[in-house]
Amino acid sequence: MAAVDQRLLWTIGAATAVTIVTIAVIIGRDPLHQDLAVALAPPSMLFPLGTDHLGRDVFARLFHALPRSIGIATSAMAAAVTIGTLVGLAAAVSNRLVDAAMMRLTDLALAFPGLLLAMVLAGLMGGGMLPVLVGIALGQWPQFARMTRSVAAAAMTEAHVEASRLAGLAGWRILLRQVMPRVLIHTASLAALGVGGAVLTISSLGFLGLGLQPPTPEWGAMITELLPYMDVAPVQIAAPCVALFVTVLTCMIAGRRLAEAI
Amino acid sequence: MQRAVRHAVPRAVLRRVLEALSVALILATICFALLHAIPGDMALRIAVGQLGTENMSPAAVEQIRDAEMLSRPLLVQYFDWLKAVATGDIGRSFVSGRPVAEELRQAGGYTLRLAVIAWLLSYALALPLGIAAGLKPDGAIDRATAFAAAAFSSLPTFLIGIALISIFVLALNLLPPAGYRRPEHLVLPAITLALGLMAPSMRVIRDAVAEVQASAYMTYAHVRGFGKAKAFIRHGLRNASVPIVTFAALQFAYLMDGFFVVETLFNFPGIGNAMVSALLARDVPVVMGCALLIGTTFAAISLAADLICMWMDPRLVDEGHGSR
Amino acid sequence: MSRNLWFSAFVTAMLVSPFSVFAQEELRVVEPFQLQRLDTQTGGFQLRANGVTETLVQTNPEAAVLPALAERWETSADGLKWTFFLRPNVTFHDGTAMTPEAVAASFKALLPTGNLIKNAKVKDVSAGDGTVTFTLEQPFAPFLAYLLDPAVPVLAPSSFASSGELTAIVATGPYRIEKAELPQGLDLVRHDSYWGDVAKIERVRVDGIPNPETRVNIALAGEGDLVLEIPTTAVSRIDRSGETHIVRAPVPRVVMMLVNVKKPQFADVEIRRALSFAVDRQAIARTIMGNEDLAANQYFPPAMKGWHFEDFKPQTLNVAEANRILDELGWKPGADGIREKDGTRFAGMMRTFPQRAYLPVIAEALQAQLKAIGFDLSIQVGESSLIPEAQNDGTLELGLGIRTMIYQVPDPVARLTSDFATDEPSTDATGATGWKSEEMRAAVAAYNLTTDPEARLPLQREMAEILQNELPVIPITFTDEKYAVSERLEGFVADPVMQTRPLNHLSFKD
């Protein structure tokens, strides 16, 4: 377990270092600057990954997209975790009827596909960050609710929790001190996986033309925009694909490592 | 035990059917509320869905408003719909004018066909690989499949689809790029979906198998002198199956998101497409019909999973439900 | 493992068996529209374009009106009565003969559904001896063009139920509908007793595929014989594929910036001129549309004879002039380089939609170009209906839309009326927002009363001039239509006016 933790630390450290270095490199590069005269230029010293169909620096766009995608994914996940944990805890401490009702509600939410919801919100509201965020959060909270409920329910039957209750500790204190930490450990690994999934959803929305608004750099949208130029700009299209893959893979591995660590 | 099964199963089924109906109704109600809560002129959106963006006129918009009686109070519209549903009529599409049931049968049929094939294909791949990995945790196969699973779940469906199109359609010219009328039209969409599905299920299978392998009764079986494979088939398989079946059922229900992307890429006329275009065109009857269908399908699948789990592990019957 | 495979193969075979058998010698047409309903109001355009429906007249690629189901026509001296002499020996798809009574009944049933032809204010249609006569409420010079409203074709009596409701499309064109799988596509079969050139190819399959990249893949794989609306980006790939080649046709369609002139930052026509001066149309046309000649320096494209005027002062790039105008009007650059005046920022949100892939890209280019004159453009891509909604409730700032000038009716005045000379609410992502011009309305009214083509010319010039001077919309670029035509197909000629595909003239090479 210690070895796993150490590897996890290494991964996080390496990711941070890479992020800092790239931020240092791309400072001063404008991802929005266009020069139609150099559209679809091949990689060069000036443009390490070439330019896109509007003559913008693919390298700059690629790395400006990273913090944005991760930021939205993380915020959406934070919202999903908050809603999910609250619903799950409430269900765990409620009587059977309320518990059953809340879990049916959760099942219901599970049945409704999150990507579809985000798409429709984006289509009807006119795109942008908010519908993407809301759609992902609404699609993801049920799994946190289910997990929280089962972990919390299990924890509450355990001997020391019973003991605290008998000792007269207030219900919410028990929740906060003895149930929450355990819920949060499980949440962390699920959330890391969820961030990866959310990055995929953001890119899928971008691919369908319903994600972040242009000219905001976003990998899925970059792939769609450059797809028609696959044969003349292979580097430009490969770059966002690789970036997307590596980012999501990192989240997935981190999530798995966390799960193993528990 | 036998008597308990005989009584518990119908009760569980009845409970789940009632649950399914209420889930479907609530889902449809939420959709109704959602469609009306989002700002914008319903009649105008419907008219765009029906006539296209360049072919509109104020007269057409008003005609739709009249014909579909959109000026009625919302509650009246909602209860009229409920009354019709109670008699088995889920209405006509605002956009196409055809009965919603017919539209859903058509789109749902195509989707079901694709889903079943993709799902079977994914398990045809995932089961042998997952079991092989689980029989020897941390072995070479386990490591390789773990990496493959992580890689595939890090690829968005659209990239898998684009890659398959680039290879099999554009480079090799082996398969058609889009369509739904011929069997070969299903090959690429099904593989695209299956590759995405395979990754998580492979890990679930592996974990379930590994857990069973490590359990006491398997050790006992080894002690009794069964070979590894034989011991697993005789004792492990059934026990490992419960979490796998539960997961597989859930996964089938969650296919929906993948559908929309695949349907868009391959122009496949399925339920994902129908639902999204209906939502965008504010085609209330179709959206609510889709919600009913998704809700009941979801419930039916989890019921089926429960029953299979009960059959495999009768201990679960006592609790009245299987997979939970 | 092998058992799994066998099982899935078995299930696959079981599931796919209901698929229809595919006929190899089918003509495969792929278009971007999906037909939602099999009626003339919704699908009139597609039904006519694919040779199912026809009306009394037709057009040639020069937009001249020619005989079709009517052989000739005459107008009464007061311009109120139009009499059409029907072509004899025309049979409907159900084998019945086309009689004057059937034609009159068809018009009576369909006229109320025509969005465009209602402007002609037809009072009555009556059948005579081999003739059909339309009586108008007031003289209407462009009646022939309006008669081409695709919502009003000539249909057989068997198309209508006894209640008068349209239940089937039984028309006169070279192809009849065999099977409709809505909204995916249509199966058409040859009408053997067609009055004109009987089709050479027996069966046609029309597929509606909205996603442009999917259409491109179909063209690249040789899976379509005639694929419509190929994006510019795919032209070279398709030409190199060896399976298909590209045919270009100039379609009179403009991509334009919609401006809400009620907003303080756009109210002054000089500001709209400044915005227009900031647009590098040549660069947009070259890089995004793939053809520098498509740059739109005025509202009407050069192919529109009598509407495009070479002597107009072109709207071209002149950033210095734009900045001079804005400085003079008192719009001062702020700290962030964006201009301001009396607390109003020189900014606007541009709404556009993704169905035409080039629109969001052009919006991005405009954003960068307008920044050079201190204008802050933000972009919102969503459903196209968001634009007319915002036009009607006054919240639209800017929009990027398209207008096909002679879409459906081969006279630009039909669309000029609904875009620039009406008080009705907006329903299209086109036309003026908050702009009203009495001169424009007077010119449209005068045009509708003028039969003589020579006398119409000054009115046409006046209308084009008003648009050029007042800039209720700012033209950016024209577009051309690109068809991918398979190598096995012969006889395709693009029709830029009505955008029909003369399917009956097509044949397969041996």
- The secondary structure of residue B167, as a DSSP letter, is I
Residue B196 has pLDDT above 50, yes or no: yes
Q: Which domain holds residue A165?
A: 49-261
- For residues B225 and B303, state if they share a domain: no
B103 found inside a domain: no
Report the candidate in C51, C44, C65 with the shortest Cα–Cα distance to residue C453.
C65
Q: Which of B43-47, B110-114, C94-98 has the lowest mean pLDDT?
A: B43-47
**A200, A208 in Cβ contact below 8 A?**
no
How far the first Cα of chain C sits from its last, in Å, is 47
Q: Does C295 touch chain A (CB under 8 A)?
A: no
- For residues B115 and B259, state if they share a domain: yes
Q: List the CATH number of the domain containing A190.
A: 1.10.3720.10
How close A143 comes to chain B (CA, Å)? 12
Q: Cβ of A111 and B294 within 8 Å?
A: yes
Query: For residue B317, what pLDDT is reported?
Result: 60
- For residues B248 and B117, state if they share a domain: yes
How close C216 comes to chain A (CA, Å)? 9
CA gap B203, B209 in Å, rounded: 10
CB atoms closer than 10 angstroms to residue B73: 8
Report the candidate in C90, C89, C84 with the shortest Cα–Cα distance to residue C67.
C84
- Among partner residues C7, C355, C427, which is closest to B58 by beta-carbon distance? C427
Where helices occur in chain A by DSSP H, the ranges are 2-26, 58-93, 96-111, 114-125, 129-156, 159-166, 171-174, 180-207, 219-226, 234-261
Residue partners of B96: CB distance under 8 A and separation at least 6: B50, B103, C36, C37, C182, C183
**Over chain C (510 residues), what is each successive 10-residue block's mean pLDDT?**
50 47 74 88 90 93 88 94 96 96 96 88 95 95 93 96 92 95 92 94 93 90 92 88 87 94 94 96 93 94 92 93 95 92 94 88 95 93 86 92 87 92 85 93 95 92 96 95 93 83 88
CA gap B94, B82 in Å, rounded: 17
- For residues B198 and B89, state if they share a domain: no
Q: Does B174 touch chain A (CB under 8 A)?
A: no
User: Could you tell me which residues are beta bridge partners of residue C244?
Assistant: C486
Question: Counting Cβ atoms within 10 Å, is residue A159 exposed (0-12), middle (13-18) or buried (19+)?
Answer: exposed
Q: What is the pLDDT of residues B49-94, one digit of tens each?
A: 888 766 777 888 888 888 888 888 888 889 988 888 888 888 889 8
CA gap B71, B74 in Å, rounded: 8
Q: What is the pLDDT of residues B133-189, one digit of tens each?
A: 988 888 899 999 988 888 888 999 999 999 999 999 888 888 888 888 888 899 999
A133 found inside a domain: yes
Q: Find which of A82-86, A108-112, A168-172, C351-355 is predicted with most confidence, using mean pLDDT.
A: A82-86
Report the candidate in C503, C471, C500, C482 with the shortest Cα–Cα distance to residue C234.
C482
Total-model pTM: 0.86
Record the tokens describing residue C251, joined without a space: 């379609």
- B254 contacts in chain A (CB < 8 Å): 110, 113
Query: For residue C309, what pLDDT is reported?
Result: 95
Residue partners of B110: CB distance under 8 A and separation at least 6: B180, B268, B269, B270, B271
- B113 contacts in chain C (CB < 8 Å): 15-16
- For residues B173 and B80, state if they share a domain: no
- For residues B254 and B307, state if they share a domain: no
- For residues B73 and B215, state if they share a domain: no
Query: For residue B321, what pLDDT is reported?
Result: 45
How close A44 comes to chain C (CA, Å)? 20
B149 found inside a domain: yes
Q: What is the pLDDT of residues C38-81, one digit of tens each?
A: 889 888 999 999 999 999 999 887 778 899 999 999 999 999 99
Domains, chain C, in order of start with CATH, read 19-246+482-508 (3.40.190.10), 251-480 (3.10.105.10)
Q: Cβ of C217 and B48 within 8 Å?
A: no
Is the alpha carbon torsion for C299, C301, C302, C303 positive or negative? negative
Query: For residue A170, what pLDDT is reported?
Result: 66
Please report the residues numbered 90 through 129 in chain A whose beta carbons come closer than 8 angstroms to any beta carbon of chain B. 104, 107-108, 110-116, 119-120, 123-125
Q: Cβ of B96 and C36 within 8 Å?
A: yes
Type and span of the H or E element at B220: helix B216-223
How close B6 comes to chain C (CA, Å)? 31
- Among partner residues B41, B59, B181, which is closest to C20 by beta-carbon distance? B181
SS3 state at C260:
strand
Query: For residue C14, what pLDDT is reported?
Result: 47
- For residues B6 and B84, state if they share a domain: yes
CA gap C374, C370 in Å, rounded: 7
A31 found inside a domain: no
B172 found inside a domain: yes
A58-93 and A129-156 helices, crossing angle to 10°: 40
Question: Counting Cβ atoms within 10 Å, is residue C157 exposed (0-12), middle (13-18) or buried (19+)?
Answer: middle
How close B223 comes to chain C (CA, Å)? 28
Distance of CA C204 to the CA centre of its chain: 23
- For residues B130 and B86, state if they share a domain: no
- For residues B70 and B50, state if they share a domain: yes
SS3 state at C136:
strand
- C384 contacts in chain B (CB < 8 Å): 48, 53
- The secondary structure of residue B38, as a DSSP letter, is S
> Which pLDDT band holds residue B8 (cuts at 50, 70, 90)?
low
ipTM of the complex: 0.81
CA gap B150, C231 in Å, rounded: 36
Q: Does A248 touch chain B (CB under 8 A)?
A: yes
Query: For residue A24, what pLDDT is reported?
Result: 62
B302 found inside a domain: yes
**B84, B101 in Cβ contact below 8 A?**
no
Contacts 24+ apart (CB under 8 A), B225-231: B228/B135
Report the candidate in C381, C356, C377 with the shortest Cα–Cα distance to residue C367.
C377
Report the candidate in C426, C415, C391 with the shortest Cα–Cα distance to residue C467.
C415
- For residues B180 and B287, state if they share a domain: no
Q: Which domain holds residue B83?
A: 1-94+282-324
